[in-house]
Amino acid sequence: MASVSDIEMGLATMDIEAEENEELCFDGEIEEEANRFELCLVGRFLTEKNINVRAMRSKMANVWRPTMGVNIKELKGGLFLFQFYHKDDFKWVQSGGPWTFDNSILVVSAIGIGEDPVKVQLTEVNFWIQIHDLPSGFISNFFGTFLEYDLNNNTSVLREFMKIKIKVDVRKPLKRKKKITIKKRGDFVVQCKYDRLGDFC
């Protein structure tokens, strides 16, 4: 055990300023900032009505049924943070929908590294749509950006319509029909019906 005189001598010989100015060198690269919102979505409902937050939390948890649960926090008036605890739950909610509460559509988006959740642009919603009277082998991005087919619906030769998922810009009016012309086949009016449209404001 060190004596009092040994400790006093050690303190006297310490060069604090030299230690403060000593540089630390790292051989490896410093990792980029981790995304603390990696499994989070930010969202708002397309409605002018006030949202009953307690009822909404219960309803969305019941609809999504996430394996590891979900935490829903209101960031500011009408803007919500949805935190998931498993990547499969996160991906399913992000790519699914449209999700609704009280007949109002939820617009959600992931949050990038270093991005402020309050400033995330919420402008696009995924919709499943039925396209009627579309000639076989023809598809267009007129109604929205094409994402995928419903293979269960599109394989039958007796199908009445084509079902696809599209991404729609909520700032623009929804399109419900389009006249198209195909060489050697004439003119067609293509009708579009949206699944689970709710109150689209």
pLDDT one-digit tens code per residue, 108-155: 999 988 889 999 999 888 888 887 776 655 555 677 888 887 777 655
Co-location of 64 and 95 in the same domain: yes
One domain, residues 141 and 84: no
Average pLDDT on 4-21 reads: 55
Residue 104's CATH number: 3.30.70.330
Q: Is residue 200 domain-resident?
A: no
- Integer CA distances (angstroms), 10 to 4, 17, 18, in order: 10, 15, 15
128 and 174: one domain?
yes
Residues of the domain holding 135:
124-194
- Strands, E, within the chain: which ranges? 40-45, 70-76, 79-84, 99-101, 104-110, 124-132, 145-149, 162-169, 177-182, 186-194
Of 81 and 35, more confident: 81
- What is the arrangement of strands in the sheet containing 124-132, beginning at the earlier edge strand? 145-149, 162-169, 124-132, 186-194, 177-182
Residue 66 within any structural domain of the chain: yes
Domain match, 104 and 138 both: no
Asked if residue 34 belongs to a domain, the reply is no
| 88 and 133 assigned to the same domain | no
For residue 175, which of 147, 156, 200 has the smallest C-alpha distance? 200
Number of H helices, E strands in the chain: 5, 10
Same domain, 135 and 82: no
Nearest CA to 99 out of 109, 88, 108, 87 is that of 108
Please count the structural domains in the chain.
Answer: 2
pLDDT digits (tens, 9 = 90+) for 71-112: 999 998 899 999 999 999 999 999 888 899 999 999 999 998
Structural domain includes residue 160 = yes
> 32: pLDDT confidence band, cut at 50, 70 and 90?
very low
Residues 6+ apart with CB under 8 A from 88: 67
Q: Are residues 87 and 137 in the same domain?
A: no
**121 or 192, higher pLDDT:** 121
